[in-house]
Amino acid sequence: MKVLVINAGSSSLKYQLMDPATRDVLAKGLCERIGIDGRLTHKVPAKDQKFEAEIAMPTHAEAIEAVLQALTDSDHGVIASMDEIDAVGHRVLHGGMAFTESCIIDDACIEAIKECIPLGPLHNPANLMGIEACQKVMPTKPQVAVFDTAFHMTMPEKAFTYAIPYEYYEKDKVRRYGFHGTSHRYVSARAAALMGRDPKGLKLISCHLGNGSSLAAIVDGKCVDTTMGLGPLAGVPMGTRAGDMDATILEYLMGRYGYDIKEMLTILNKKSGVLGISGVSSDFRDLESAAAEGNHRARLALDVFYYDVKKYIGAYAAAMGGVDGIIFTAGVGENAAGTRMAIASGLEYMGVKMDEEKNNTRGKEAIISADDSKVTVMVIPTDEELMIASDTAEIVSKL
């Protein structure tokens, strides 16, 4: 089955055409500057081919048309016609409490995604634009929504409840939701396979460390806690996002500088995290270089990041009553051996023993703990597109 995976942002749209059974990626690419002018980058991995073009994209519908044109082009296309696409899978950020798993997109599903807009005000409208564009351009293709929040819906009440007046949960659905769920779901299933264990009976901590970062505690293949919250601003410090902090800081800084809430949130979302501490960059490679050259704030930013990730690993081991496996994934987790070492060192007391040589790996599945480590530490490259394509194929095959 060939599935077109779509991840629509407000002015961009990423796509991948793949066969989830064989994991073959036939083509992938990116539409940018939608609503401004329009630019397409299209890649065919099997032929190492790249095609770039300026194409007018006043709306997401023209972007999807450009994608279909590229996929069927006589030079850089990979299919003869649109008929070869069996289904479309969409990444949707916020499924609120309505979605515990992926689902076929029908009118009720669209209504429910719309109802989640107040919870995901930046992403859900963009995701809906992607869905509506595909419905317009490919009206007969079945479409599936895969939610970033769905995997976390198994969290127990005690893990998702905030200690604020309960009516805000009852009336306004204020609770921990968590994100990166598709990634945590994928890597935790792969981890069980790599360990040769059934997910049942397994306690895992998944560390998705990228530009955005979150950790998840997973028991029996189900999420029991995660670091992000109502939105993706909570948890460990990130590239530019603050992570957990004392809400008093908002009042204090807003009072001192006259910021309104929008300005304050821009600071916390875009100017904080390791960028905010270091003043150097949000990119971990830049921070490592600057720290190696003696830049104190770059060193401090990395230390704060390592420390907070380590603290959450300890917290989740306590919450689960132990841990069998720790997973590192996403840009930093998959590539930065030094970061993994810095986080995992000092955890010997809970049975983590790293193997320096095995840890010297990048971007491929590997066990990086010593053979006699009680806790298996792993690198598992995430593949959210494969997960979206697999869910789509599974749901569509049952129609």
Binding residues for Mg(2+): 7, 384
Q: Order the strands of the 325-329 sheet from edge to edge.
A: 222-226, 213-219, 203-209, 325-329, 376-379, 366-367
Is position 148 annotated as part of the catalytic site? yes
Q: Which positions ≥6 away from 50 have C-beta within 8 Å?
A: 41, 42, 43, 44
Least gap, CB of 238 to ligand AMP (angstroms): 9
Please choose, from the candidates 101, 29, 105, the residue with its C-alpha nearest in 3D space to the C-alpha of residue 387: 101
| Structural contact between residues 388 and 18, judged by C-beta atoms closer than 8 angstroms | no
| Residue 229 sits in the site that holds ligand AMP (CB under 6 A) | no
Among 4, 88, 224, 330, binds ligand AMP (CB under 6 A): 330
Kindly state the helix (H) or strand (E) to which residue 356 belongs, with its residue range: helix 356-359
Q: Decide if 118 contacts 171 (C-beta within 8 A).
A: no
Give the nearer residue to ligand AMP in terms of CB position, either 210 or 276: 210
As measured in angstroms, the least distance from the Cβ of 277 to ligand AMP is: 14
Pick out the residues of the known binding site: 7, 14, 91, 208-212, 283-285, 331-335, 384
Q: Which of 37, 148, 260, 308 is catalytic?
A: 148
> What residues have CB less than 8 Å from 18, skipping those under 6 apart?
2, 3, 5, 24, 25, 26, 385, 386, 389
Residue 284 or 328 with smaller CB distance to ligand AMP: 284
**DSSP summary character for residue 354:** B
Q: From the annotation, which residues make up the binding site for ATP?
A: 14, 208-212, 283-285, 331-335
Find the part of the chain contacting ligand AMP (CB under 6 A) among 12-20, 45-53, 281-289, 347-355.
Answer: 281-289
Which of the ranges 5-13, 117-125, 136-144, 331-339 carries the binding residues for ligand AMP, by CB under 6 A? 331-339
178 binds ligand AMP (CB under 6 A): no
Buried b or exposed e, range 72-82, using 16+ CB within 10 angstroms: beeebbbbeee
50 touches ligand AMP (CB under 6 A): no
The correct pick among 211, 295, 345, 361 for binding ligand AMP (CB under 6 A) is 211
Nearest distance from C-beta of residue 340 to ligand AMP, angstroms: 10
Report d(CA 315, CA 324) in Å as an integer. Answer: 14
Residue 239 lies near ligand AMP (rule: CB under 6 A): yes
144 and 94 Cβ atoms separated by less than 8 Å: no
User: Where on the chain is the footprint of ligand AMP (CB under 6 A)?
Assistant: 210-211, 239, 283-285, 330-332, 335-336
Which residues does the annotation mark as catalytic? Answer: 148
